[in-house]
């Protein structure tokens, strides 16, 4: 029988390996299509093979890596079909979470939405001409805004699903950001969304959310339609 302390330690190591691997994937350190050898990853992250295998299984469940027969895993490729699927499901999940937030969220929820928007705006303004480079702090604050919008929904699972899908779209957002130079338009898009949400204008908020989530799909794959 496994000792409870050993089991807890193994879980912690698996969580750490999964976090490090996910960060390497979304940052582009591990490129789309790259083969993921357990031994190489174990050496890279300073853990044994067991936590790495568990980490790979977890990221496969999040659609960030794909199994290659019985021969291991690879980083999932980027494609229009993949981003369209991510976008479609994000719209379903975030729309429902936003609906619940607008109906159930109180003053604290509204305050956090406004505060998250303010933090994002300051970051973009301070970045100036470097806005299109994105960066870890920008992405943290951008995610924080979207998390704040749905933070009043009362459903931890919806919030977790939205977070996973946000991460799955990260690599596509990085491509999108490279061609984005209009910081005022970017912030304006978030301002009108925040205003509609905190004003409990459901139909307007849903339409704005759908348009915003579709913007990455439209910019990265302009030859295709939106969802």
Is 0.85 surpassed by the pTM of this model?
no
134 closest CA partner among 148, 123, 118? 123
Same domain as 127, residue 40: no
Please report the pLDDT score of residue 154 as a whole number.
98
Mean pLDDT of the chain: 91
Last residue of some domain: 75, 97, 125? 75
115 & 61 share domain:
no
φ, ψ for residue 68, nearest 5 deg: -115, 85
pLDDT digits (tens, 9 = 90+) for 156-191: 999 999 999 998 898 898 888 877 768 889 999 999
Tell me how far apart the alpha carbons of residues 120 and 188 are, in angstroms, rounded to a whole number.
11
Spatial separation of the C-alpha atoms in residues 198 and 107, rounded to whole Å: 9
Residue pointed to by tokens 């302390």: 5
Check pLDDT > 60 for residue 227: yes
> Mean pLDDT across the stretch 181-202?
94
Q: Judge whether 61 lies within some domain.
A: yes
pLDDT at 4: 46
Q: Kindly state whether residues 140 and 99 are assigned to the same domain.
A: yes
Nearest of 3, 17, 16 to residue 53 by alpha carbon: 17
Domain boundary among 40, 75, 110: 75
Burial 99-134 (b: 16+ CB within 10 A, else e): ebbbeebeeebbebbeebbebbbebbeebeeebeeb
Q: Which long-range contacts link 217-221 to residues 24+ away (Cβ below 8 Å)?
A: 217/80, 217/83, 217/84, 217/87, 217/172, 219/176, 219/179, 219/180, 220/80, 220/83, 220/172, 220/175, 220/176, 221/80, 221/83, 221/84
CATH number (domain holding residue 89): 1.20.120.530
Q: Does the pLDDT at position 61 exceed 90?
A: no
Residues 135 and 71 in one domain: no
The span from the CA of 165 to the CA of 89, in Å, is: 8
Q: Is 25 a domain residue?
A: yes
Residue 148 has pLDDT above 90, yes or no: yes
> Residue 218 pLDDT > 50, yes or no?
yes
pLDDT at 52 over 50: yes
Quickly count: other Cβ atoms within 10 Å of residue 88's Cβ.
15
Any domain includes 225: no
Asked if residue 194 and residue 105 are part of one domain, the reply reads: yes
Residue 21 sits in the same domain as residue 127: no
- By mean pLDDT, which of 27-31, 134-138, 187-191 is the weakest? 134-138
Q: Are residues 107 and 128 in the same domain?
A: yes
Work out the average pLDDT over 189-198. Answer: 98
124 in the same domain as 187: yes
User: Residue 178 belongs to what domain range?
Assistant: 80-220
Of 38, 7, 8, 9, nearest to 21 by C-alpha is 38
128: left (phi over 0), alpha (psi -120 to 50) or beta: left
Q: Are residues 93 and 119 in the same domain?
A: yes
Pull the structure tokens for residue 56.
Answer: 């790979």
**Boundary of a domain, candidates 50, 75, 100:** 75
Reported confidence tier of residue 6, pLDDT bands at 50, 70, 90: low
Residue 168 is assigned to a structural domain of this protein:
yes
- As for how many domains the chain has, the answer is 2
Distance (Å, whole) CA 169 – CA 177: 12
């Amino acid at each position: 029988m496994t000792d409870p302390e050993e089991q807890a330690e193994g879980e912690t190591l698996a969580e750490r390996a999964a976090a490090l691997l996910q960060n390497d994937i979304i940052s582009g350190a591990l490129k789309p299509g790259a083969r993921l050898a357990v031994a190489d990853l174990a050496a890279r992250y300073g853990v044994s093979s067991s936590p790495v295998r568990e980490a790979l299984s977890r990221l496969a469940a999040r659609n960030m890596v794909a199994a290659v027969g019985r021969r291991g895993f690879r980083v999932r490729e980027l494609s229009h079909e993949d981003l369209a699927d991510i976008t479609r499901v994000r719209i379903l999940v975030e729309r429902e979470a936003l609906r619940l937030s607008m109906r159930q969220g109180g003053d604290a929820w509204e305050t956090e939405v406004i505060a998250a928007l303010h933090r994002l705006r300051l970051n973009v303004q301070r970045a100036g001409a470097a806005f299109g480079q994105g960066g870890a702090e920008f992405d943290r604050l951008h995610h924080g805004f979207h998390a704040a919008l749905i933070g009043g929904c009362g459903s931890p699972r919806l919030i977790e699903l939205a977070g996973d899908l946000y991460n799955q779209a990260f690599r596509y957002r990085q491509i999108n950001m490279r061609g984005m130079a209009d910081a005022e338009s970017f912030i304006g898009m978030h301002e009108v969304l925040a205003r509609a949400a905190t004003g409990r204008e459901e139909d307007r908020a849903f339409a704005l959310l759908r348009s915003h989530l579709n913007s990455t799909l439209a910019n990265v794959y302009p030859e295709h339609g939106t969802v």
